[in-house]
Structure 1
Amino acid sequence: MSRSRETCSHEALLLEPSAYAKEVGYSWPSSDRRLAATTKSGRNPLIRKGQKVEDVEKLSEAIANNLSGTFPGPLILPGDELALDPKDPPQSFRSWLNEGLRKNRKLNRKCKTLYVAIAPEITSSVSFMKAGLQPSVRKGSRVTATKSLDPPSPEDIIKYTGAFYHGLLVEAFPGSFQFVPWDESKKSRKSDSDTGYVGLLAGKNSTRIRYRPSPDGVFKYQLNLNDLIDAAIEMLTGDAYSLLLLVNHDMYEDEDDVFCCGRAYGADRVAVVSTARYHPALDDHANIDFAHMWPTSHCKSYVDQLCGEEGLRQDTEMATRVANTSGPLRAAVEAIRGFENSALEDPRGLWFSRITRTVVHELGHCLGFAHCVYYACAMQSSSCMAEDLRQPPYLCPVCLGKVSHAIACELEGRDEAGKYEYVKDRYRSIADFCDSWKHVGLFAGYGAWLRARLEQLDIT
């Protein structure tokens, strides 16, 4: 069950990967390598000719410690993606900059629009699809339908994405989209348990979309992600840098999937995101600990508890390196203390706050960003809904360097000083958005994190 945030004081915040990370073989890049990952040269910017190695190491560690209260390491808890794949290779700023596919995906003035296509209309001829929009939840031995709740507004998603990718045009994709019958559907769907077919009509083009019952019974129908990606590729126009298709149905990628929330095909610059599994009514089903979503996911007591269930204890040295005073992460934790439990959150606002991270994450892949392994970051991969909600909404220094270079330098022609100013303008843009949504916990926390980060940048 979701627990009250008041049941835990979050006195100490863990700033490094958990004890479980070491157990599964994850090796956190050193402070030297994390600094080097932010540069064009791939070298630690602190290295100077004739400088002693130990002096560079000490200075690198000092800078890393100063940043840790802003950009902590990835948590890596049991079942997390990096726990399952601890050797996932890192993508530094240099490796992203020199990526071969970037030759065909650089932003330019003729091609700088991120389009968001709203969920297709369900026409009367396929009205059965409406039954797949609301989840059902199990309570004991009974399965009951959830109270009807409208999905997040596409307009709000577009506004947030525009703030997150400050400097790019983010617009609703023009035209209408409809689910319509597909000729094969009647003869192909022999029973409710078989795969069926509908068409996704965009303009004059109709793409066949497979659907099936949800394996876990949470939704009546799921749509095939690969078919939706094909439809998105067909929709991509010449002025679009990328296109993201929103769907309100549950999705699956292959026959072994239980569900899939989103996927990007970076080379084709298209992505598809489903709002379905982020529905707040599914928190218990997904084992969401409401008391320890970001930013309180870094609560040391919480991490220790999960590691303890695996028979692990934080080592003494790591246990001393925690934040219990100031910094953006602490500011975020303090900002959400008024949100005592899930019952006090606006459910539609809560749903919206959750989908935003996935939308900007998948669009990041369209910009060529790989999954991040350097820090807790919006570009981290996730293996489950619980991990997804533990991860932060911000970009780490490595991924922030990529997006600011792509927009400020490549698109707008700014120099390094201009790039630095872009970073602050971007933070202000997102903070202003968060201020207008401060009645929702995630945005209250993110807004506080941003304001505290801006104070840091103004001091340096």
Structure 2
Amino acid sequence: MGSGASSSNERQSRQFNLLIGNLKNKTGIEKKLFGLSSLVQPERTRTLSKNSHERNNEKVETLVEEELFVPLYREKSLICTQTYTSWRARNDLVKFTQRLGFKKKVIYFLPIDSVPDFVSNFNFPKSGLKERFSLFSLIGTYIETFYSGMNVKWLDPVYITQTKWKIRKRSHKKTSKEQYLVSDFYRPLQKMMPKDGYCIMGLSWTDLYPKEELNFVLGEANYMTSSGVMSFGRFEPKTFDADNVKDISSIDADLMWKLLKVSSHELGHLFGLEHCEFFHCLMNGSNSIQEALSQPSFLCPVCLRKIQHVCKFDITQRYETLLSFFEDLNEEMPSEKWTSNVTWLKKCLHFLKSTDTSYM
């Protein structure tokens, strides 16, 4: 019995190290958060804090940790998924061959073609400050917070008709909207990126499509070229109603939600992250706009571990800055989405600052 239990514990320890890496030199807070990765290993026994609540008149015991990070049902072996260990081995090699890309700390955004006047004239009044933010600068502020440790810079807009870029386009059969083939942007964007750039993301008002047989994509990114492009995504062809179509005419909470979610997700791919198969997470894959936008705004412990390896941020400080951002956004542009993010961040910070050490 003793030998069997010891062998099982050793196997679980190896699996945990494969999933999240060695946490020996991490701080207590980091060990606590990244240690939640063990939630995807149901055989690991832990003394977990619990939270009682009522659901359908039935008292239910739920794990506080699982309210923060909900594990996905997973059939694949860890060997077949992108664990922190497998991501780091590939990322370190790629960045080394790209002439020490580790030292590059700038995320570049490049507007493509023109945008409507209401987009260029948008101003966001930051509560308590005299500074007013344009739409692009607000996106940049969020990305600098989300990928704390990186700087965001905007390049001057590029107009495709004034370039030699060979971007294929089509008119969508159902929406009749012009669409660009997303993969045609990768190489031109890569060539536009300054030498201090870690990656570059194009931002287009025109819709995008990934390949001829597929009808729509919010954005895509290519890790090997360190480039990607995203669209405001005006229509979802699966639910498009030609008789009741209304084009976007203002910046509201729903559009802002879409821009922040898509930009942070696609940039995750430029940090080498594949679609997450461990938790409900910002980096989950999706088959529709509705599915993509219903996913969490935040990274799970496994994906956050990868990003922190590159950005070197303080976890608590990053969450606190994100909390301030969403509180300000919710004050000026009220939405249940921002309220939900604020609630999650407060709950996460409370967990990290609590005395519970069961995951350390």
Q: Please, what TM-score do these two structures have when normalized by structure 1? A: 0.56
**Which ranges in structure 2 are unaligned for 5 or more consecutive residues?**
1-11, 25-30, 33-42, 51-61, 123-134, 242-249, 356-360
AA in 2 matched with 1:155? S
AA in 2 matched with 1:435? E
Q: Does 1:427 align with 2:323?
A: no
> 1:103 corresponds to which residue?
96
What whole-Å deviation, never above 9, does each CA across 1:343-395 have from its counterpart, x for those lacking one? xxx86221111121111111111111111100011111111112112210000
Structure 2 CA distance for aligned equivalents of residues 71 and 286 of structure 1: 33
Spell out the pairing of 1:21-420 with structure 2 (5 A cutoff): 33=15, 37-40=19-22, 57-59=44-46, 65-74=63-72, 89-99=80-90, 100-104=93-97, 108-109=102-103, 111-121=104-114, 150=119, 153-173=135-155, 175-180=156-161, 201=163, 206-217=164-175, 219-277=176-234, 285=239, 348-408=252-312
Q: Please, what TM-score do these two structures have when normalized by structure 2? A: 0.70
Alpha-carbon spacing, 1:86–1:389, altered in 2? closer, same or farther (3 Å): farther
Q: Is the 8 A contact 1:226 1:253 kept in 2?
A: yes
Q: Please identify runs of 4+ aligned residues in structure 1 that moved more than 6 A.
A: 60-64, 85-88
Alpha-carbon spacing, 1:59–1:95, altered in 2? closer, same or farther (3 Å): same
Alpha-carbon spacing, 1:235–1:394, altered in 2? closer, same or farther (3 Å): same
Shift of 1:117: 1.0
AA in 1 matched with 2:189? A
Shift of 1:118: 1.8
Alpha-carbon spacing, 1:96–1:444, altered in 2? closer, same or farther (3 Å): same
Structure 1 CA distance for aligned equivalents of residues 353 and 23 of structure 2: 26
AA in 2 matched with 1:239? D
Q: Is the 8 A contact 2:261 2:293 kept in 1?
A: no
What whole-Å deviation, never above 9, does each CA across 1:142-195 have from its counterpart, x for those lacking one? xxxxxx97488222211111110111101212x331132xxxxxxxxxxxxxxx
Q: Secondary structure at the match of 1:58?
A: coil
AA in 1 matched with 2:352? L
**Which ranges in structure 1 are unaligned for 5 or more consecutive residues?**
1-29, 47-55, 77-81, 123-132, 134-147, 181-198, 288-345, 409-418
Structure 2 CA distance for aligned equivalents of residues 62 and 434 of structure 1: 27
Alpha-carbon spacing, 1:164–1:112, altered in 2? closer, same or farther (3 Å): same
- Count how many residue pairs are aligned between Structure 1 and Structure 2: 291
Shift of 1:31: 11
Q: Is the 8 A contact 1:434 1:446 kept in 2?
A: yes
> 2:127 corresponds to which residue?
none
Alpha-carbon spacing, 1:393–1:57, altered in 2? closer, same or farther (3 Å): same
Structure 2 CA distance for aligned equivalents of residues 41 and 437 of structure 1: 35
Q: Secondary structure at the match of 1:363?
A: helix
Shift of 1:450: 0.9
Q: Secondary structure at the match of 1:273?
A: strand
Alpha-carbon spacing, 1:451–1:104, altered in 2? closer, same or farther (3 Å): farther
What whole-Å deviation, never above 9, does each CA across 1:59-81 have from its counterpart, x for those lacking one? 2877994420110124x8xxxxx
